[in-house]
Amino acid sequence: MEHDCERLYWELRLDLEDYEKGGLPSIKKTEACFKTAAKKWMELAEILSSYHFSSEEKEIHFFKTVKPKFTSEIEYYTLVYHALLFQPVCSSSLLHFWGREYGKLRRFKAANKTFINCYRSKGNPQTQYFFLRKYYNLRAVQFIRIYDSDVTLSTNGDWLAAKLIALEKYRQYAVKNLERI
């Protein structure tokens, strides 16, 4: 399983780099990156569907570290796509728009302090709650994401980890757009 994860992630990174370097228009590039990230996650999910973790520590590691590496790319390209579609054409509104986009990470961190403290630390007693499937509570999830259509491959925290990673990357994207104004 570890070899499959590494191989698929390496393939994902290469594919995303190719699209980022390519000459596609922003929307098309973003769509291609999103589709690639979703496809690689689905490939890994297929492998995972018949896999049994040998320990809770390995399951925690997968849902805290491995899955979010894939699903954060889906989250990131969703954010970029949304911004590309809805950014104002009026230059006077762009500063406000990108300022608001820049603040998404801050707002997420403020709303999810408990999770982030757990995610960033080792040995936190809540780690099991956030990253073991046996504690998964579907009612606690805001909405089902494309990568969580199979709830047997979800935990209470893996989507939060993916969102955090995506927002950290997206903040850099917002900064570049603010600098262009």
Give the mean pLDDT of the chain: 93
The residue among 63, 85, 89 whose CA lies nearest residue 5 is 63
The residue among 78, 51, 69, 61 whose CA lies nearest residue 8 is 69
**pLDDT per residue over 56-109, tens digit each?**
999 999 999 999 999 999 999 999 999 999 999 888 899 999 999 999 999 999
138 pLDDT tier (thresholds 50, 70, 90): confident
Higher pLDDT, 49 or 15: 15
**pLDDT at residue number 181:** 82
- Report the percent of the chain where pLDDT is more than 70: 96
The angle formed by the CA atoms of residues 98, 108 and 34, to the nearest 5 degrees, is: 65
Q: Which two tokens stand for residue 67?
A: 């899955």
Residue 80 host element (H or E):
helix 67-86
**pLDDT at residue number 144:** 65
**pLDDT at residue number 141:** 65
**pLDDT per residue over 140-175, tens digit each?**
666 667 677 777 899 999 999 999 999 999 999 999
pTM for this prediction? 0.94
